[in-house]
Every structure is written in C-alpha cells, then in structure tokens.
C-alpha cells in the first residue's frame, strides 16, 4: 500500500493536504477564535487552506474573528506553505539523521524545482536561511514604522511587523486590518517594504540565488533567470502604467490622493497581482478594465519555485517565444543562444491549457452558485486559482458550496495542475515505439 505513494508529486499533494487538515483542526479549537462559540468547520477549512496555499482569501475578518492563537496558527501555516511541505520534511530528516537519502532528495527536488539532486541539501539550507533573513529585515522595518509612526507599543508593533513580514514574503496577503492596508495607502515605509518583500519572494529561489551569486556577470545568467526577470520587469512596468492611468481620476480609488500618493498606490496595486492579496485601494471600486488587467496579471503570476502562484512568468514567456517562432516558421524555439527543449515547451503548453480550462469550468460553476456578475466571479476564481487573495468582496458573500469550490481551487492552484495530474498517476509510462506521422490542418 505504501508503494502507491512513492512518487514525489503524490507526497507533495499529501503533505499540503495534511497541513491544511492540521490547520483546520487547530482553528476549530475554542482558543483559536474570539467568538463565544467555536468556529464552524467550513470556515476553519477555508482559512487553513488559504493560509497553507499562500492565497489570503478570507470569509471572516482575520483580526476580528481569530484570537492571537488563531493568528499565530495562520502565520505558521503561511510559513510552512512558503517553505514547502517537502522542504520542511527533508530538513527534519537532515537534522535528525545528518544524512539525506535518495528518496528525500527526490521529494525535495520536486518541491523546490532544483535542476539537479546533487545540491539539494545545500539548496534547502539556503532557502530557509534566506527566507528567515528577508522576513527578519522586513519585520524590523515594519516594527519601527508601526512603533514610531503610529504609536503602537513595541510588543504589538513587533507582532504586527512579524505577521505581515511572513505574509508578504510568502505572498499570502493576510492582513490584521479589515481593510487590508488601505489605511497605509500613502505610507511608503510600509507599502514599499511590503512590495519589495512580495517581489523577492515571488521571483523564485533559483532566480534570487543566481542573481545574488552572479550579479556582476548577468551574461552568465541561466535562461530561467533571464526569462523571469525580463518578463516580470516588463509586466510590472506595463501594469503600473495601466493601473495609474486608468484609476487616476477614479473617486473610489486613486482620485482623492495627491500625485505622489497616486504613483505609490499605482505601484503597489501593480505589484500585488503577481500573487499577494494585499491592497491599498478599494478593489470593488476599480474600473472594470482594471479588473480585467488584474485577472490577466494574476493568471500569469510570479516566478517558478517561489512563493507566487499562477502559471508562472516562465510559462508565459515560453509561450510568447513559441508563438514568435511559429510566426517566423522556425522548427525550434531559440532564446538567446539556447534552444529550448521540446519537453519543456510541451509542459508549458499543457500547464497553460489545463489552467485555462480549470478557470473556465470553475467560473461557470461559480456563476451557477452565486448571483454575482461575470467580471466579479472571474476575478475571485482567478484570484483563488492563482493563489493571489485579492477580492472584490464576493468571497465572503458566497454560498457554502461556493466556499467549498474556492477551497478546492486554492489547493489545486498551489500545488499546480501538473502536480495534481502526476500525483494521480501511479507510474510513468514510456512509449517504446513511434507511430507513423500524419499532418492535421490547424485553423
């Protein structure tokens, strides 16, 4: 029976599922809530799944509904989800035994997207150290700002700083205010710090480590790093322009702010769709065109092997190069001085197709289950699938069936459609022969 769970992808699914169920059990405890009666099972399951899948969608106000114990549980689930269940399990194996076996290396490789197994042990150590260092720096900055700028007691300021540092770096988007970060819309110390943490966490560990290691020699960067940085930078610049221009005179969003406040809010709003659910403006008041732009940005997401969701910027970039190569009539996809493997291209196409179908099917289902318009439903569905957490307010008003659907969607979006598919397969099949080729008319 145990042999049925030897595939690394299956272990990832089991690990994240187990973490979500454990978090649900903890949040169901009376000590986890401020209410007079224990929280219902669906609310606990939704919140735990949202936390461990780094989404940030909520159906109850985090600060008002959960006690300090509940908030700590949520923060720990976010941290565990960010580092990865298999990363945590592998580190425990290293700490307890001092040895890293082949099976543990395979599990860690599947979770961290390491390109070889030789450096998995060192990579996992660097991931944990880097995560803790970034979170510590963000915590110090936020703590100082909350204490000095807003008069919070040092203990409370440190608690707020640590919670939001974990939430930001892991692209979770949980906030301890009912309006997320709207009250800090013109505060660059908070907005810029959180935005930088979101960007760094969303780039992906392989890219961040390569940049830190070879920042003086960008010509030696791998194709993964070049695509990730190039596409991420281009999307950020375009999205800043879109949101700032579209919402500049909107009285419900950027309109009441001064010019510097509008630019800061436009920058922050452009960063968040990469996979973090913080917001400094009322998303429900945004122009429908801004909603559509946010949908597209959320669907693309951030970098591979990081805390961001979506189909990933590498997938988006590869698809763009596939289209360009096809338009030019080239038989292979070349980027720079490298040819992209056909297996990688098939994986990108498959991932994008599965993701598109998943979003379409779930959007249809949510339209049946709710009375909201298509643009609102699509926004929430993409936000859940891409593990972003941005919301127009529809999630809290959804039916229990809608909450169950969003819970499943967050789980699928975090572990990835391909991981789900491979986890369901008991073994890999290798075709030992090739069939005759036949051309099919396309278009």
**Domain spans, the chain:** 9-422
Q: Each residue of 232-248: pLDDT tens digit?
A: 999 999 999 999 999 99
- In whole angstroms, how large is the CA radius of gyration of the chain? 22
pTM for the full predicted model:
0.89
Total residue count of the chain as it appears in this document: 443
CA distance 438 to 443: 16
Res 102: pLDDT = 56
Nearest to 152 by CA among 130, 185, 176: 176
Ranges of residues in the chain whose predicted pLDDT is under 70: 1-9, 85-120, 417-431
CA distance 260 to 110: 44
Instruction: Please state the three-class secondary structure of 229-289 as a single string.
Output: HHHHHHHHHHHHHHHHHHHCCCCCCCCCCCHHHHHHHHHHHHHHHHCCCCCCCCHHHCCHH
CA distance 107 to 9: 8
Res 113: pLDDT = 56
Q: Which residues have CB under 8 Å from 337's CB, separation 6+? A: none
């Amino acid at each position: 029976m145990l042999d049925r769970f030897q595939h690394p992808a299956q272990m990832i699914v089991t690990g994240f599922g187990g973490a979500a169920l454990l978090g649900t059990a903890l949040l169901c405890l009376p000590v986890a809530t401020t209410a007079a009666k224990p929280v219902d099972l669906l609310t606990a399951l939704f919140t735990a799944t949202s936390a461990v899948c780094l989404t940030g969608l909520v159906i109850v106000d985090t600060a008002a509904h959960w006690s300090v114990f509940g908030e700590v549980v949520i923060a720990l689930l976010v941290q565990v989800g960010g580092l990865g269940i298999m990363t945590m399990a592998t580190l425990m194996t290293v700490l307890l035994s001092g040895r890293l076996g082949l099976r543990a290396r395979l599990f860690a490789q599947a979770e961290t997207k390491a390109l070889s197994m030789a450096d998995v042990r060192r990579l996992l150590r660097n991931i944990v150290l880097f995560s803790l260092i970034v979170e510590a720096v963000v915590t110090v900055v936020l703590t100082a700002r909350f204490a000095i700028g807003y008069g919070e007691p040092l203990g409370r300021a440190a608690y707020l700083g640590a919670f939001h540092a974990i939430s930001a770096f892991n692209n979770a988007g949980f906030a301890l205010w009912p309006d997320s970060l709207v009250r800090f819309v013109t505060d660059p110390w908070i907005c810029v710090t959180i935005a930088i943490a979101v960007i760094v966490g969303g780039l992906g560990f392989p890219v961040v480590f390569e940049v830190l290691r070879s920042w003086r020699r960008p010509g030696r960067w791998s194709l993964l790093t070049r695509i990730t940085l190039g596409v991420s930078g281009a999307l950020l610049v375009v999205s800043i322009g879109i949101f700032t221009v579209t919402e500049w005179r909107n009285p419900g969003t950027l309109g009441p702010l001064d010019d510097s406040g509008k630019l800061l809010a436009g920058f922050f709003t452009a960063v968040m769709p990469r996979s973090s659910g913080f917001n400094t403006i009322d998303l429900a008041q945004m122009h429908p065109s801004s909603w559509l732009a946010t949908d597209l940005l959320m669907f693309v997401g951030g970098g591979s092997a990081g805390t961001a969701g979506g189909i990933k910027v590498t997938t988006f970039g590869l698809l763009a190069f596939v289209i360009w190569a096809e338009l030019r009539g080239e038989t292979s996809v070349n980027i720079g001085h490298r040819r992209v493997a056909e297996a990688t291209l098939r994986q990108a196409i498959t991932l994008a197709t599965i993701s598109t179908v998943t979003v379409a099917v779930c959007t249809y289902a949510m339209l049946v289950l709710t009375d909201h318009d298509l643009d609102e439903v699509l926004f929430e569905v993409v936000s859940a699938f891409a593990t972003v957490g941005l919301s127009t307010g529809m999630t809290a008003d959804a039916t229990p069936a809608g909450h169950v659907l969003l819970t499943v969607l967050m789980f699928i979006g975090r572990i990835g459609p391909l991981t789900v598919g491979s986890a369901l397969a008991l073994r890999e099949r290798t075709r030992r022969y090739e069939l005759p080729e036949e051309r099919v008319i396309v278009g």
